Structure formats: C-alpha cells, structure tokens
Amino acid sequence: MQIKTSDLPGIGKRYSFSISGREHIVVILHQAGNREIYHFADENADEPDFSVNLTDDEARQLGVLLMGVDYQPVADDRMELLLKKFRIEWIKVSPDSCLANKTIIESRIRSVTGTTVIGIQRGDEIIGSPDVEEMILPGDILMAIGKREQIKKLTSLCE
C-alpha cells in the first residue's frame, strides 16, 4: 500500500491511499488534533461515500484497536513461530510492587527484565504503546512481550 502525504497549510496534514482495488481512503489530521476520514468507492470520485470525524482521543482509541493491542489475529504459521520464541502476557501490578507509582522509564523494565511493555490496561481504558513517561499504577495490567524467562522476571517485579 502506498500512502501519499501532503501538507495542508493552516490545517494539518493529508494522507491518502487506495484499498481493495479502486476504493480510496483520505485521512486529514488537523493541527487541533481532530481527524477526518473519507471513503471513496472509486478513487476518481469527487464526493466521498461517507466520512467520519473523530476527536484526538477517539482517533487514538481507534488506533489502539487497529494496532491489535487488545486482539492480534496472526496466521497459524506466524503464530507458531512467534510462540516458540516470544510470549505476550498480561500481568497485574500489585499495590506492593516495586513498579507501582513509577514511570516506565524510572522502573527500568526493559533493562532489568528484557521485556517490553506494549500496552497498559487501566480499568476500562487501554493505553497502547505507552510513552516511557507513563506512570504505572497499582492495579494496572501490563501487556508485555518477551521470552519466557524475561516474562517471569517481570511477573516477580509486579507482585
């Protein structure tokens, strides 16, 4: 898929790409953070079939879903290869954990355990690809990827 980008002075940035043959998608990211998504059944059409307007927060939540943070379908052969080498685990942070109330960078999870935090579930909210400055709170559920021994190290830190 080839994505074409262009600056929209005073507005933001425009991304466009074709899908499923002749269908076309245009995404406009406004400087204020909101997004507009336009669908064209034919890439040469002048008017979109429909459009969706999203706030910054809505767009980020949709992005998390599209990235597969909560669910990641993987072809069987790729899944088998992945599971042989790496594990993705959801680990709850206890109130007594040495990680509680520290940012990801302060906790040094990657350097201490070798795992990478790829998401945090905080109540009903899912934070996909969290920033290193994200605070780890008691009760958070960390989604982490690593080898079996690395995951065990992280699990012990979360207890």
Q: H helices then E strands: how many in the chain?
A: 5, 11
pTM: 0.51
Q: In 89-103, which positions are buried (b, 16+ CB within 10 angstroms) versus exposed (e)?
A: bebebeeebebbebe
99-116 pLDDT per residue, tens: 999 999 999 999 999 999
95's CB contacts (< 8 A; 6+ apart) are: 138, 139
142-154 pLDDT per residue, tens: 999 898 899 999 9
Tokens of 15: 């991304």
> Residues 154, 112, 130, 104: is their CA dihedral positive or negative?
positive
